[in-house]
Amino acid sequence: MAEPMLVVNNLKKYFKTPGGMLHAVDDISFTLEQGKTLGLVGESGCGKSTTGRVLLRLLDSTGGTMRFEGQDITNIQGAALRKLRRKMQIIFQDPFSSIDPRKTVSQTIREPITTNNIITGKAEVENRVLELMEMVGLTSRLTNTYPHELDGGRRQRIGIARAMAMEPRFIVCDEPVSALDVSIQAQILNLLKDLQRSNGLTYIFITHDLAVVHNFSDEIAVMYLGQIVEKSPTEELFKNPMHPYTKALLSAIPIPEYGHKKERIILKGEITSPISPKNECRFQSRCEHAFDKCRSECPPLVEITPGHLVACYLVK
Amino acid sequence: MSEKVLSIENLVVHYELEAETVHAVNGISLSIGKEETLGLVGETGAGKTTAALSIMRLIQSPPGAIKSGAVVLNGRDVTGLPIRRMEAIRGKEVAMIFQDPMTSLDPVFTVGDQIAESIALHEKLSKADAMKRAEEILELVGIPRSRALEYPHQFSGGMKQRVVIAIALSCNPSLLIADEPTTALDVTIQAQVLELMKELKNKYQTAMLMITHDLGVVSEICDNVAVMYAGRIVEVGSAKDIFLHTAHPYTEGLFNSLPNINARVESLKPIPGLMPNPAELPPGCAFAPRCSYAGERCHTSKPVPRELESGHIVECLAYDDPSFQIVRRWGNG
């Protein structure tokens, strides 16, 4: 059997801070098949964006290995890295700060094409820009407009067109719809899904919104303080969450239905510091089920049922 | 009829810029009774925040101006009050919680000072007594009183929002305006803060205007709901009316574009297009260009409020046809 498109083993990213070593990503492993979507879910500061950036080699890892399409990309440099970057792209959260306010729509989309010499010839490049604009649902009338004249949804479409210009194989979507209104959010999610279908794209979808990821991902990894605490196929995770944190996270979502009553688990306290963590379960201080073992050892991620992995001593 | 804490009648607010006039709020009416929570729902630019700031008379002027209408707070119209009188009302009768707790606190004063400030001002207490009250309130919102001497940067986002809530409730206002109070918070923290707000609202019997774009938050905390679009309230009713008997095509569109956490779908059903520019509103119904039910008349004449059932009011011409019904795709509708 061929190796999955992306294989990540024991990936770590630490940052040096005055208070000690900050464990942003701490020993995570997963694989991702071509054409699939992995949802990376968690709250602010859990390391999900850092994971995305390390995967794209925008940050260097502290430890572990990453293989992309059979090639070890953990430490590649120079021309090899430049070649890799054409295949891996990112879509950012905030379409207001991720595009240059002084460039028009067509200039913005043209830039990656000419910089990387993907297409040569003035007319050909212009055609490609128009093609990309059509692909992401921007009318050609907007070619000469500036970002400030456009709403968030359209700006996000520019970001997507820019990523698509490289004809990537793999895209990290870092909270691509969090800054958008719901009606626009749905438009962008549908667009991303269509692009995935027609281009065979592989996504890592980073979000804090479990409802969004439910609709979008094949598999979900829940992160807490730099570690994956639960990983499972999407349907299974929603039907049968096992980790206490995942359960609390699911129960905390307000459901837009009248008279919706459910057992709500209100977590005590807040996320603890990722600086020099002790050898213990990172969630134990907020967990109502924690017992002695949770305070003396960090639980490993183990497969409980096929494909469903959980890092908790309570789950057997 | 029960006594109303707030009633807004036909409020019109414009921003008069050099090049254009932005029609932010175009004749809205709503009322909130004692202990009632009204959810004001809509997307960015619908005019929700402008409406809320008008109640507090905090619209920056110029360019903003309340063109007509009345804002009756505890029986008196505040639209024409001199600023001095208004200052006595703000914080005392009506208080506001803003979306971003990071920017609504002053970084150079301790949180205790900031809570005590409004108490000392409105309750004519000495500084020491005000500080004591501040510490009590801090404890009430779930923060140990010893932390009153700390500065905002020493608190997390959720804790800061608790401090903001403490300031808002410090003088026991009859109306609390919460403008997206949990949007900037993580879900587990959002759950904590909503729980706290519910608890305090019941304890102090405060009426609340909850501004949000999150229909989940609405179902969680609101008794009644007003849906706002392009400066108009297009549908208003009890939470049950809005969730179970959705009437306006825009409200339907909002529900349909939400990813449903209980069911996976192949693709979402977004509302096509964008909200019209509030400086160039269409002559007919503002939602008509995006509405799949819109007929010719919708593009030329403005709809008027129509009461479908007691208290459930919708502004839509399609209901001229008595057999008209919209289709909700999911939820318990």
- Angle subtended at Cα A175 by Cα A205 and Cα B257, rounded to the nearest 5 degrees: 90
Burial of A77 (0-12, 13-18, 19+ CB in 10 A): exposed
Residue A210 touches chain B, beta carbons under 8 Å: yes
- Provide the shortest C-alpha distance from residue B224 to chain A (in Å): 11
pLDDT at residue A33, rounded to an integer: 95
Best of A44, A258, A271, A272 to disrupt the B interface (most B CBs within 10 Å) is: A258
Q: How confident is the model at residue B332 (pLDDT cuts 50, 70, 90)?
A: very low
* Cα–Cα distance, A119 to B217 (Å, whole number): 48
Least Cα distance to A54 among A71, A66, A43 occurs for A66
Which of these ranges, B146-150, B154-158, B170-174, has the smallest mean pLDDT? B154-158
Rounded to a whole number, what is the distance in Å from the CA of A13 to chain B's nearest CA? Answer: 23
Q: What is the mean pLDDT of residues B24-37?
A: 94
**Which one of A184, A256, A259 has the shortest CB-CB distance to B216?**
A256
Query: Considering only CB atoms, which chain A residues are within 8 Å of B189?
Result: 43, 270
* Chain B hits for A190, Cβ within 8 Å: 267-268, 270
Q: Is the pLDDT confidence value at B1 over 70?
A: no
pLDDT of the residue at A67: 96
- Sign, CA dihedral A43-A45-A47-A48, equals positive
Amino acid at the residue B88: A
Say whether A257 and B265 touch across the interface (CB within 8 A): no
pLDDT score of B225: 97
Nearest to B13 by CA among B305, B230, B320, B213: B230
Please tell me the distance from the alpha carbon of residue B198 to that of residue B239, in angstroms, as a whole number.
16
Q: CA-CA distances (angstroms) from residue A263 to A69, A108, A110, A175, B183?
A: 44, 48, 52, 28, 22
Question: What's the whole-number mean pLDDT along residues B77-82?
Answer: 92
Across B163-175, average pLDDT = 93
Please give the ipTM for the structure prediction. Answer: 0.80
Q: Please list the pLDDT of chain A residue by residue as tens digits (316 residues).
A: 678 999 999 999 999 988 889 999 999 999 999 999 999 999 888 999 999 999 999 999 999 999 999 999 999 999 999 999 999 999 998 777 888 999 999 999 999 999 988 888 999 999 999 999 999 999 888 999 999 888 888 999 999 999 999 999 999 999 998 888 888 888 999 999 999 999 999 999 999 888 888 888 999 999 999 999 999 999 999 999 999 999 999 988 888 888 776 678 888 777 788 888 889 999 999 998 999 999 999 999 999 999 999 999 999 8
The rounded mean pLDDT for chain B is 90
CA distance B169 to B176: 8
Distance of CA B237 to the CA centre of its chain: 15
For chain A, list the domains and their CATH numbers. Answer: 6-310 (3.40.50.300)
Check whether B91 has a pLDDT greater than 60. yes
At residue A204, the 3 state secondary structure works out as strand
Q: Which of B210, B221, B260, B274 to mutate to test the interface with A (most CBs of A within 10 A)?
A: B274
Tokens encoding B174: 């009859």
Question: What is the distance in angstroms between the Cα of B54 and the nearest Cα belonging to chain A?
Answer: 23
The amino acid at residue B327 is V
- Any residues with CB less than 8 A from the CB of A158 and at least 6 apart, and which? A95, A99, A105, A108, A109, A136, A138, A147, A150
Domains located in chain B, CATH noted: 4-222 (3.40.50.300), 245-320 (no CATH)
Do you know the residue count of chain A?
316
Stretch (H or E) spanning A129: helix A122-135
Sorting pLDDT into bands at 50, 70 and 90, what band is B333? very low
Among A186, A194, A266, the residue with its CB nearest the CB of B270 is: A186
Rounded to an integer, the average pLDDT of B261-272 is: 79
Q: How confident is the model at residue B6 (pLDDT cuts 50, 70, 90)?
A: very high
Q: What 8-state DSSP symbol labels residue B149?
A: G
What's the average model confidence in pLDDT over B162-176? 93
* pLDDT given at position A1: 60
3-class DSSP assignment, residue A255: coil
H or E element: which one contains B50?
A: helix B48-56
**CA of B332 to nearest chain A CA: how many angstroms apart?**
6
Residues 216-245 of A with CB under 8 A from B: 216, 234-235, 238
Cα radius of gyration (chain B): 21
Burial of B283 (C-beta count, 10 Å sphere; 0-12/13-18/19+): exposed
CB B299 within 8 A of CB B288: yes
Chain A residues closer than 8 Å to B160 by CB: none
> For residues B211 and B49, what is the distance between their CA atoms, to the nearest angstrom?
8
- Crossing angle for the helix pair A182-199 and A152-164, to the nearest 10 degrees: 10
Residue with tokens 């070619």: A143
Question: How confident is the model over B256-279, as a mean pLDDT?
Answer: 82
- The pLDDT score that the predictor gives to residue A259 is 77
DSSP B192: H
Question: At residue B303, what is the residue type?
Answer: P
Mutate to test the interface with A, among B187, B266, B287 (most CBs of A within 10 A): B187
The span from the CA of A27 to the CA of A227, in Å, is: 7
Q: What is the pLDDT of residue B257?
A: 87
Tokens representing B7 are 């009633």
Report pLDDT digits (tens) over B173-214.
Answer: 999 999 999 888 888 888 888 999 999 888 889 999 999 988
Query: Would you call B259 and A249 a contact, using CB atoms and an 8 Å cutoff?
Result: no
Give yes or no for A264 touching B (CB within 8 A): yes
Residue type at B203 in one-letter notation = K
Residues in chain B: 333
> Mind telling me how many Å the CA of B220 is from chain A's nearest CA?
6
pLDDT the model gives residue B2: 56
Between vectors from CA A97 to CA A91 and to CA A102, what angle results, nearest 5°? 110
